[in-house]
Amino acid sequence: MNERERVRRRVGELAKAGLIDESGLPEGAQVLDPIPVADPASGNRHSWFVPVARGERLAGFAQLLPDLQLMRYSTFPSGKEGTSLPDLADWTDATRIRDRAEQIAKPGETVGEPVLTYDRDVSHLAWRVPATGPSGTSRDLFVAGDFAYPERPESDQPEIGGGPASA
Amino acid sequence: MRIERTQARQLLGLELNALGVAGPPSLTGELEGARIGEEGTPVYDPNGEVLFYRFLVADGGEPGFADGAARAELGAPLLAVSTGMQWNESALVEEAMEVARSRGADFDETRFVAFSFPKVGIQFLRAGEEIVLLELGSWEPVPELRDSEDRPPLEPSNFERWSLLDELPEGRSEAARRNYESRIEGWEPALRDIDTTIVERAQLSAFDLRLQDSRELHYDDGDAGHHICFELHGQETSLWCVGASIQMLLAFYRYGYSQDRLAEALGLGTRQEPSGLAYARVEDVVAQIETLTSNALEAEMIQDPEFEFFRDEIDANRPLISFVPSHSRAIAGYIRYHFTDLGPRPFRGLLVYDPWPPSTGVITRWENWDTQIYQYGYRARVKIVP
């Protein structure tokens, strides 16, 4: 069994054991292939993002450390019949994610391959998409679901929502 | 205080028997009939002390493993139990050795090391000196121990080697030791009667056990007659997590503030040029909750909050705000699996209404208390006219 399959199986087991949600996974939900979450500083694997889908919508996700310890299990508010759930593609489809990044790229910038990581804190999961200008200068854009934004310059002082706490 | 492997295994056996009765039904099924392996894998702290032993738990419904404390500073004999996954020490070492050799490592000893508790890696040594330490699973080399004076204790970065035993503040490790000792005392009557090498529900039938302790916010504290009552708000810019958290807390008390208005009050800029809340101004959250409710709410900030801080507020039907490193969220519930009269339990989790991702937010049920760093907690209560 490969590592991704082990991660996926682990989420199924945790759900079955009632350890991620007493009511189990949402009805009709499927645990999809895990996506590695890269540490933003080193690029090493930080954790696994494991999507839980209802059809073409993202019902929630589990996040597991490399040793398969559960970090969190999260669900999106579903609204009536799941209509307010995010599109699965917003979180899993590289083309859709690049398109989102392109919408906020400056004229002349080309966007590169997205990498799932987090912005400053691990709870800020987001895809990082490099954007390179005609002069070769590069900056990072972030895409979190249907929300795209440019990397923020380092703040002079640590902030909640801003720079790292230990800065 | 050190705990020898034999004693760690015996106490682990008691705890697993407890969990076999107290845990959620599907888990108790997995544990029933399980035997606890004789050879526990010692897992070291980066300072060289054995921190815990990992024992195979097998022959139940599913294979698994459990971690038994080797130090009382960990606060409880059972650290974690995992079912559905085999603990195969020799296979892991084999896999790690392949990676280490491919990196040219020349070694004569291997050890499991909790390089960033509870994250574990395999250390390769030669003549007692480390050659390399590889993270379990990813097999990435773990950075060297850095000078812990560069940052506050227990606030490591995401991939950092640090010593739990060395960084535990004296007060905290003392409290954990007391916790551990009281737990052991609680077990004394059971030790005589229980076969600790096997998990069998019948063994603890004479003891008073509870399944779990959990609560979510309701319209008021009459849980039976009222619905669960808390609404998620996504943050409306990439930096307004504090505004969104306060918005959720105030909305519970029917104060309808927009995030733009809250950003103005907190100095978080505008939608076009948002900013975060400076750490130097964390107390502004208290002041603004009181100001924006014309002092109808009385707020308080607690640094390094304990789990019980959140539990007590939720039990009183009051939402909270939690700051973790560089992020803010609202808290609307908790869970803990526990064992009456016997102290702490193996899983504590918070129900987190997280304003991230922007615009949607997400509800996390449950956030493992042991994998997060809780820096500040905020509570607010309605002032009652005497």
Whether A48 contacts chain B with CB within 8 A: no
- B136 vs B92: CA distance, rounded Å: 8
Residues 110-129 of A with CB under 8 A from B: 119-126
> Per-residue confidence at A22, pLDDT binned at 50, 70, 90?
low
- B219 vs A19: CA distance, rounded Å: 26
For residue A25, the chain B residue with the least C-alpha distance is B365
For residue B136, the chain A residue with the least C-alpha distance is A67
Task: Verify whether the Cβ–Cβ distance A145 to B27 is below 8 Å.
Answer: no
pLDDT at residue number A63: 94
Number of Cβ pairs < 8 A linking chain A and chain B: 196
Decide: A119 and B238 in contact? Cβ < 8 Å.
Answer: yes
Whether A161 contacts chain B with CB within 8 A: yes
**A chain contacts of residue B135, beta-carbon cutoff 8 Å:** 44, 66
> Per-residue confidence at B79, pLDDT binned at 50, 70, 90?
confident
| Pairing of β A125-132 and β A110-111 | antiparallel
> Per-residue confidence at B82, pLDDT binned at 50, 70, 90?
low
Of A14, A149, A165, the CB nearest to B238: A149
Quick check: A50 pLDDT over 80? yes
pLDDT at residue number B49: 95
Q: Which residues pair with B42 in a beta bridge?
A: B53
Separation in Å, CA of B384 to nearest CA in chain A:
32
DSSP-assigned letter for residue B346: S
pLDDT at residue number B201: 74
Whether B148 contacts chain A with CB within 8 A: no
Of B140, B238, B328, the CB nearest to A44: B140
Quick check: B207 pLDDT over 80? no
The mean of the pLDDT values for chain B is: 84
Quick check: A74 pLDDT over 60? yes
Task: Verify whether the Cβ–Cβ distance B359 to A122 is below 8 Å.
Answer: no
- B43 vs B115: CA distance, rounded Å: 10
Q: Is A32 helix (H, G, I), strand (E, B) or coil?
A: coil
Residues 319-338 of B with CB under 8 A from A: 323-329
pLDDT at residue number B206: 63
CA B37 vs. chain centroid, Å, equals 26
> What average pLDDT score do residues B108-135 get?
90
- B314 vs B351: CA distance, rounded Å: 10
Q: Letter for the amino acid at B339? A: F
Decide: B359 and B271 in contact? Cβ < 8 Å.
Answer: no
Whether B271 contacts chain A with CB within 8 A: no
Tens of pLDDT along B233-275? 999 998 899 999 999 999 999 999 999 999 999 999 999 999 9
pLDDT at residue number A131: 96
- B286 vs B137: CA distance, rounded Å: 43
Quick check: A80 pLDDT over 70? no
Tens of pLDDT along B125-178? 999 999 999 987 778 788 898 776 667 777 666 567 889 898 888 877 887 788
Decide which of B122 and B60 is more confident: B122
Of B24, B242, B276, the CB nearest to A19: B24
Decide which of B379 and B336 is more confident: B379
- B158 vs B138: CA distance, rounded Å: 14
Tens of pLDDT along B277-296? 988 899 999 999 999 999 99
> Per-residue confidence at B208, pLDDT binned at 50, 70, 90?
low
Decide which of B205 and A88 is more confident: A88
> Per-residue confidence at A82, pLDDT binned at 50, 70, 90?
low
Quick check: B340 pLDDT over 50? no
Task: Verify whether the Cβ–Cβ distance B159 to A42 is below 8 Å.
Answer: yes
Residues 228-247 of B with CB under 8 A from A: 232, 235, 237-242
pLDDT at residue number B344: 42
Separation in Å, CA of A112 to nearest CA in chain B:
21
- B264 vs B280: CA distance, rounded Å: 17
> What average pLDDT score do residues A92-99 get?
96
Tens of pLDDT along B297-335? 999 999 999 999 999 999 999 999 999 887 899 999 987
For residue B367, the chain A residue with the least C-alpha distance is A72
> What average pLDDT score do residues B359-381 get?
84
pLDDT at residue number A107: 92
- B363 vs B329: CA distance, rounded Å: 10
Q: Is the ipTM of this complex over 0.90?
A: no
Quick check: A5 pLDDT over 60? yes
Task: Verify whether the Cβ–Cβ distance A17 to B24 is below 8 Å.
Answer: yes
pLDDT at residue number B342: 46
Decide which of B116 and A44 is more confident: A44
Provide the H-helix boundaries in chain A.
3-16, 88-92, 94-104
Q: How many residues does chain B have?
A: 386
pLDDT at residue number B28: 62
Most trustworthy range by pLDDT among A66-75, A79-88, B43-52: B43-52
